[in-house]
Amino acid sequence: MLWIDTHCHLDAPEFSADVREVVGRARAAGVGMQVLPAVVPDHFATVRQLAHHHGLSYALGTHPLWLRRAGEHAVQALADALAAHAADPRLVAVGEIGLDHFVPALQSPAARAAQEVLYAEQLRLAHAGGWPVILHVRRSADTLLKHLRRLHAQGRGLAGGIAHAFNGSEQQAMAFVDMGFKLGFGGAMTFDRALQIRRLAQGLPAEALVLETDAPDIPPHWLYRTAEQRAIDAQAAHGRNEPGELPRIAATLAELRGWRLDETAARTSANALAALPRLAALMPAVTD
């Protein structure tokens, strides 16, 4: 079985000491491909180097949480990087871009407006280059969809992509699907109390679903540590999510859907290839 982790941050500091071992464990578990989205221009070179060194893939963009660090030159940095690396087969998308309507520091009118400007400009670049996008959707689905609909109304629809870590309503989910997007499901789905996410994973069209870890974040229930536990246990590796957890996360999706595990791998991998078409040319090199 071949698994594709459509969202993994191997450039995170949590992996700085053992990234080679992390990739090795993932491969041993059957995770043949990972997509490494950048979060800020400072990381563009790092994710590209990681993808090339380990036979993976990457995306370029500025995450809304990194808005201040990226500064006013973020859009130009993305434009320059896309131009420089357009022919790189391991570059598969623009991302991680989007909007965050949860983190308190980003909820002032000025901060929300700045997020929207950055998002809209990165969408513009994605459209101009024919790139799919990997979207950060955190209590922001309606506003993200507003901008996507605006592009569609202008006859300038995007090449689709993935709405990462989706946790909106079924109506919002289908709006993304209708515009050619797949929806990412990961560790949050493994919690019994995540009723909305589990309902979506169970009920959405099969062709809408892709798998992800968001490692080192969004750990599945068997890795989760409470704030109190994290305060007591200072070892960063405890509770850290890894791409090698993907098959076990996928078992939850298989159970919810009533699928065999090999069927789950086949369906979600096919969906990932549909969302990010450049992945298709990379697969033989990691599955031989």
Binding annotation: 7, 9, 96, 136, 164, 214
DSSP E strand stretches across the chain: 3-5, 31-37, 57-60, 91-100, 133-138, 161-164, 181-185, 209-211
Q: Is the dihedral of CA 241, 1, 136, 84 positive or negative?
A: positive
C-alpha closest to that of 119 among 175, 200, 64 = 64
Buried b (16+ CB within 10 A) or exposed e, 50-80: bbeebebbbbbbbbbbbbeebeeebbebbbe
Query: Rg for the chain (alpha carbons), in Å?
Result: 18
Backbone φ and ψ of 167, nearest 5°: -150, 40
Sequence-separated (6 or more) residues with CB below 8 Å from residue 205: 177
Task: Enter the DSSP assignment of 115.
Answer: H
- 187 forms beta bridges with none
Report the binding-site residues for a divalent metal cation.
7, 9, 96, 136, 164, 214
Segments in 56-108 forming alpha helices (H): 67-70, 74-85
Sequence-separated (6 or more) residues with CB below 8 Å from residue 229: 239
Neighbours of 206 (CB within 10 A): 13
